[in-house]
Amino acid sequence: MPLIASVASALSAEALHAQGSGANRTRWKVRASEGFDAIAFLGPLSGTPLYLDIYGDDVAAFSPRLPEAVRADAVQLWREANEDGFGLLGPNLQVLFSAHGHDATLDTLLAALRSRQTSILPSYRASSYWSEADWAWFDRAAPRIDAIFCALRDAGFAAFRQERIGPDLARRVAEVGRALAGFDVISWQEKLTGRTFDPEIQIVLLQFSKPHGIKVQGQTFLQAADYDTATTVRIAAHEMLHPPVPMDGLVARAALAVFERDPLIMKIVREHDPRWGYTTLKGMLDEDLAQALDQLISEALGVARNPADRWRRADDGMHVIAAGLYGLLRQDRWTERGGSIEHWLAEAVRRGRLKPAVFHPVAARVLERPVTALWPLPKP
């Protein structure tokens, strides 16, 4: 495969970053956000069981304050976002509103929404999340989003959120900041990807964000305020990796071409429960390569879960690509070596390591499953 060989050669000449100095490069900044919590609350308002199982009591307490038309449209808009390809409404709106402090309050969300061509579009267009189709959908939906935000504000969402949080959020913000100070996520990410990261990681603690940990623009991610330190470190180790390689680049396209010829992988893409997301092979590779790398980082930092348990329990066991890539990286002692992950992926394609005959047995060993029964998992 000459194309991949040439890309691998070019990448190998890049300067690679390793964790050699021992200095802690990571600066943690922890805060809260009314606006992001308001967007997160759209999940429970959608009536989706994934959110109602966690926030059913909150919806029961707050939803009657909203006009019936707004309650109905919150459900409809969530469904349309999925059906039209925009994706999960809440997380994708959080990405859009995540620059320039737009997330501070419901009023700042509304101000940004109403001036979106100048307040939101420039930073979104310049980000790795840019999608012309997603922007067009958002622009069409803006009047309906405006109506929902206004209804939340007028129904007293800010006070309701504060009541649900209780008096200890400021203490929790300070506590999380102190607990994270010794975890040098940035140095490990640089070592295992060959990329340079800004040393600041911003964590936004939310009341209504479960079950998601969400990366938005910049090196900012959102999580539940009550997650423990190990979970916070794992989320940071994962979310900032997206995308782990340029997903429209030559190397990613070559890897996708191999997986497209793998009947098992394509079965997972087509048949897994869409509520878990990752409904395209491209999205799944992005996610699963990030998961493989974050598992290595979490192990290095002493906060890892057992990989077989992790990938058995998560999303109905669908992350077979993650397990296979992790197994190959472990074979290569990637934690010790480090380097350009894009170069590594190019070499894996060139050497045929992503083909089913090689890849499936590696994944099976990690997952502790028979190679002929990687997915779906047997019913309990």
Compute the distance between CA of residue 164 and CA of residue 207 in angstroms, rounded to an integer: 8
Whether the predicted pLDDT of 2 surpasses 50: no
Residue pair 316/274 in contact (Cβ under 8 Å)? The answer is: no
Q: Is the pLDDT of residue 13 over 50?
A: no
- Whether 48 shows a pLDDT value over 70: the answer reads yes
Residue type present at position 302: G
Residue 144 has which token pair?
Answer: 């309906």
Amino acid at 219: Q
pLDDT of 15 > 70? The answer is no
Question: What's the confidence (pLDDT) of residue 19?
Answer: 42
The pLDDT of residue 156: 99
Measured between alpha carbons, how far is residue 310 from residues 45, 139, 141, 171, 315 in Å? 29, 38, 37, 31, 10
Under 8 Å between Cβ of 324 and 366: yes
pLDDT score of 144: 99
Tokens standing for 217? 């623009």
- Pairwise CA distance, residues 370 & 161, whole Å: 47
pLDDT category at 20 given cuts 50, 70, 90 is: very low
Q: What is the mean pLDDT of residues 20-36?
A: 88
Chain segment 80-89, per-residue pLDDT in tens: 999 999 999 9
Indicate the DSSP class of residue 120: T
Give me the pLDDT at residue 1, please: 37
Predicted TM-score (pTM) of the model is: 0.80
Partners of 29 in the β-ladder? 202
Return the pLDDT at 23. 82
pLDDT digits (tens, 9 = 90+) for 60-94: 999 999 999 999 999 999 999 999 999 999 999 99
**What does the pLDDT average to over 338-361?**
99
User: Cα 119 to chain center, whole Å?
Assistant: 24
- How much is the average pLDDT of 202-216? 94
pLDDT at 186 over 60: yes
pLDDT given at position 334: 99
